[in-house]
Amino acid sequence: MTELLSNYLGGQWLNGNGAGTPLFDPVTGAELVRVDATGLDLAAGFAFAREQGGSALRAMTYQARGALLSAIVKVLQANRDAYYEIATANSGTVQTDSAVDIDGGIYTLGVYAKMGESLGARHFLVDGEATKLGKDPLFQSQHLLSPTRGVALFINAFNFPSWGLWEKAAPALLSGVPVIIKPATTTAWLTQRMVKDVVDAGVLPAGALSVICGSSAGLLDQLQPFDVLSFTGSADTAAVIRSHPAVTERSVRINIEADSINSALLLPGEGADSEAFGLFVKEVAREMTVKSGQKCTAIRRALVPEALYAAAAQAISARLAKTVVGNPRNETVRMGALVNRAQLNTAKEGLAYLSVQTETLHDGSATPLVDADAAVSCCMAPTLLGTRNAAGSDAADRVHDTEVFGPVATLVPYRDLAHALQLVRRGLGSLVCSLYGQDPHALAQAAGELADSHGRVHIISPDVAALQTGHGNVMPQSLHGGPGRAGGGEELGGQRALNFYHRRSAVQASTAVLSQLNPA
């Protein structure tokens, strides 16, 4: 029988008492490890994290906690090779895709480690300036941000077992809040291994970092009023979380990232020979293939002026045709597998659903696989769909309502800019929209129009072609999240990420008292 991965809870490594759920190689079908969390004393584990981990972290300054993050970075960097091996085996990703997850997580930790240094030897944060409460300035109100005295429970998605962990854990630990991670079962191995390496290195206080692999049953029942919950996953599961008594009765603070039908928009006035057109084509093709399209931020709808529909279809298809799909262990392969058979079947079902209202511009099913058996592997080559004309873009409601979590995107022609903006907004709230053009004024105007319905507007113009960080890349300095269908959550955004793990309060006192609240 394959290895059963242990859970780390209550300051000790524990095995579940069940047979465990197997994790598989999505290319070869080989069983890798098993995970199980049945029988764990969740109440005791959560209490230990709150009381032991929380007390130890809050006793430290932001500067000291930033040093902890720096130490975690060193541990992870020392074990990078092992993480890449696990990612290849369990997620089926090529090396460049594994880097987005592994190195992206380590980089994010580093950013928050430096932030801790800049916040200094403080135990809470001042929020804004003091404000006088009457004519006499002697008596004023000062708002403070204090670390919440609870735990942070993370229920994470399968596509980023490293980055999904550290982009949440970094600001939580820096804030002084202990973390309990429930990784998605399918790819839990990498998350568990990273936590194990950090625990074995003795970097953090006992109870500051825990991991539970397996079922999430009972986790929400343990949440108390000062705990926080961050969830990344489907809108259906998000709805269940929102209705749980922990939220409705105990007012647990939640952050949710759900479905997102992201867009890329080529502005009017560009020709098929323009640099902006080339940047648009390159980014759409890249976002379809990076991590096999399994990114919450991937481009799902690519909007072009109706006159450029045929040219865009041909150019994007030509790039996709060069994508070598198959076993990531083969050096010629540039796109690996979907994470498991269930995700493959779901993606194919979604593709069939969209195909009812679209035409196929590039058929991925005709792409041969390299070193992979189509009957066994979870490989799926990229497919580009299209809505034929502007009228078809209006009628194809499925394109604007359905996210296929795989290498599938739809080319959507529009009549004019007003029509394009209307089509983009039919996504009902997304994580990101990218804009392409050369006119700074037009790009700025479009960004202003779309900002309210997106967590991030990413503008790619020729002057930043070599500098831009990518439509789908989430940088810790910028906000990650989105309104409406995207879940209404906010993560990262530099120091803003710490707000979720703090409680805001107002202290009303004399200026003499207020001056002593938070000395440097």
Q: Which residues are catalytic?
A: 257, 296
Taking only Cα atoms into account, the Rg of the chain, rounded to an integer number of angstroms, comes to: 24
Rounded Cα distance between 262 and 258, Å, is 12
Rounded Cα distance between 250 and 237, Å, is 19
- Does residue 276 contact residue 311 with C-beta atoms inside 8 Å? no
Report residue 343 as tokens.
């995700």
**Cross-strand bridge partners of residue 24:** 31
Nearest to 432 by CA among 418, 403, 453: 453
Amino acid at 289: T
Q: Max Cα separation, the chain?
A: 79
Question: Coil, strand, or helix at residue 507?
Answer: strand
Report residue 108 as tokens.
């994010």
For 409, the enclosing helix (H) or strand (E) is strand 408-414
**Cross-strand bridge partners of residue 433:** 263, 457
Q: Side-chain half-sphere of 73: how many Cα atoms within 13 Å? A: 20
Report residue 311 as tokens.
């040219």
**How far is the CA of 442 from the CAs of 63, 276, 377, 433, 447, in angstroms?**
43, 13, 45, 15, 9
Q: Tokens 């805001």 — which residue? A: 504
Nearest to 480 by CA among 401, 175, 472: 472
